[in-house]
């Protein structure tokens, strides 16, 4: 069966009008053209679609099945056309976005540039001031989307998986860990760990790797800027745990080394979160699709998005 949209429109029109003659004005085709299309449909289906009852065309059992399909597909097409027309013809709106990790802001600009080309009237703003707890700000209504690796169980929030990355320990090239295959939780006991400003307890690294063994590093050094953190690592003032892809732009094998965290490695899953509510703006759904596609490419080609 190879029914086309024109076939579905014909079946819907004839079923509602009751005759080919009345469907002519609705479909802007001649009666002979409609008769030819109807024969095409019945030939493909191998069954009549209409019975003639007192000069009126009435759906057969097969016709009723096809009409149900036609109504669903034509309605979806109409809804899609309305959404596209609304966006292309100047629909305006805004998307407020925050992510829990400062390094994530490095790969967002290409996404925003691409999205803006397609939807120039939709303003996308990034709010780094909410980085410490984007889900909390999402629940307060201060942002529309939050990118997080620590999903909060809340019935008001829905999550969609974006990508996964590997966390590694970054150390100076002459650190005692350099050259090791991997490190264990207890190895961090006597180390100075460079972290971002948010609490260590709010990290996947702590919750999945250190906390089960009751381990805390000897000293925590909060530094917000990635570049500054890496300079401290080079100066042998501490170590840092971060995503392997985030290290790539700064990595110098003469001064730095990376070590796998745990024998099996430590992987983190990222999600985009939004409030669970009906009637969300269509451009928000489009943005999420762009985001998911970008993150899929990032997972497959991490160096490009580093």
Same domain, 258 and 171: yes
Same domain, 46 and 17: yes
Task: State the pLDDT at residue 86.
Answer: 65
For residue 256, the cross-strand partners are 172
**Where a domain ends, among 88, 118, 142?**
88
Residues 302 and 163 sit within 8 Å (Cβ to Cβ) = no
Closest by CA to 106, choosing from 147, 158, 145, 142, is 147
Q: How far apart are CA 303 and CA 306, in angstroms?
A: 5
Greatest alpha-carbon span in the chain:
94
- Per-10-residue mean pLDDT of the chain, 306 residues long, equals 88 92 88 92 92 90 94 89 65 82 70 78 86 90 91 89 91 95 96 88 91 95 90 96 89 96 93 77 76 61 42
Same domain, 252 and 174: yes
**Where a domain ends, among 88, 110, 131?**
88
Same domain, 51 and 66: yes
Task: State the pLDDT at residue 29.
Answer: 87
Q: Cα Rg for the chain, rounded, in angstroms?
A: 29
Closest by CA to 187, choosing from 260, 249, 121, 128, is 260
Same domain, 219 and 301: no
Residues in the chain: 306
Same domain, 262 and 273: no
Same domain, 278 and 142: yes
CATH for 193: 3.40.190.10
Same domain, 152 and 297: yes
For 205, residues 6+ apart whose C-beta sits below 8 A from its C-beta are 167, 241, 261, 266
Task: State the pLDDT at residue 209.
Answer: 96
For residue 158, the cross-strand partners are 274
Angle at 223 between CA 101 and CA 141, to 5 degrees: 35
Same domain, 60 and 83: yes
Same domain, 260 and 295: no
Q: What range does the domain containing 142 cover?
A: 93-162+269-305
Same domain, 104 and 132: yes
Please count the structural domains in the chain.
Answer: 3
Task: State the pLDDT at residue 54.
Answer: 83
Same domain, 191 and 210: yes
Residues 239 and 213 sit within 8 Å (Cβ to Cβ) = no
Closest by CA to 45, choosing from 77, 20, 70, 21, is 70
Residues 8 and 77 sit within 8 Å (Cβ to Cβ) = no
**Where a domain ends, among 39, 56, 88?**
88
What secondary structure, in 3-state letters, does the chain show? CCCCHHHHHHHHHHHHHCCHHHHHHHHCCCHHHHHHHHHHHHHHHCCCCEEEECCEEEECHHHHHHHHHHHHHHHHHHHHHHHHHHHHCCCCEEEEEEECCHHHHHCHHHHHHHHHHHCCCEEEEECHHHCCCHHHHHHCCCCCEEEECCCCCCCCEEEEEEEEEEEEEEEECCCCCCCCCEECHHHHCCCEEEECCCCHHHCHHHHHHHHHHCCCCCEEEECCCHHHHHHHHHCCCCEEEEEHHHHHHHCCCCCEEEEEECCCCEEEEEEEEEECCCCCCHHHHHHHHHHHHHHHHHHHCHHHHC
Task: State the pLDDT at residue 105.
Answer: 67
Angle at 303 between CA 150 and CA 245, to 5 degrees: 30
Q: How far apart are CA 105 and CA 128, in angstroms?
A: 8
Q: How far apart are CA 94 and CA 116, in angstroms?
A: 11
CATH for 60: 1.10.10.10
């Amino acid at each position: 069966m190879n029914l086309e949209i024109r076939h579905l429109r014909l079946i819907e029109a004839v079923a509602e009008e009751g005759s080919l003659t009345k469907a002519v004005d609705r479909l802007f085709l001649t009666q002979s053209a409609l008769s030819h299309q109807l024969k095409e449909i019945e030939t493909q289906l191998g069954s009549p679609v209409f019975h003639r009852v007192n000069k009126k065309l009435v759906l057969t059992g097969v016709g009723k099945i096809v009409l149900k399909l036609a109504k669903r597909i034509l309605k979806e097409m109409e809804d899609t056309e309305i959404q596209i027309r609304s966006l292309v013809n100047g629909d305006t709106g805004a998307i407020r976005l925050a992510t829990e990790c400062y390094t994530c802001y490095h790969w967002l600009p290409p996404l925003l540039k691409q999205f803006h080309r397609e939807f120039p009237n939709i303003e996308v703003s990034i709010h780094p001031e909410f980085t410490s707890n984007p889900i909390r700000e999402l629940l307060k209504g201060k942002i529309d989307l939050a990118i997080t690796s620590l999903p909060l169980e809340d019935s008001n929030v829905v999550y969609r998986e974006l990508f996964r990355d590997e966390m590694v320990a970054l150390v100076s090239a002459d650190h005692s860990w350099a050259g090791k295959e991997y490190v264990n939780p207890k190895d961090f006991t006597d180390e100075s760990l460079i972290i971002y400003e948010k609490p260590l307890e709010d990290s996947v690294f702590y919750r999945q790797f250190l906390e089960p063994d009751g381990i805390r590093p000897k000293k925590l050094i909060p530094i917000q800027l990635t570049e500054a953190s890496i300079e401290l690592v080079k100066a042998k003032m501490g170590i840092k745990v971060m995503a392997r892809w985030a290290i790539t732009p700064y990595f110098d094998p003469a001064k730095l080394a990376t070590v796998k965290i745990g024998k099996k490695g430590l992987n983190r899953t990222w999600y985009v979160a939004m409030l669970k509510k009906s009637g969300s703006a269509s451009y928000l759904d489009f943005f999420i699709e762009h985001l998911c596609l970008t993150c899929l490419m990032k997972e497959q080609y991490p160096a490009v998005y580093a």
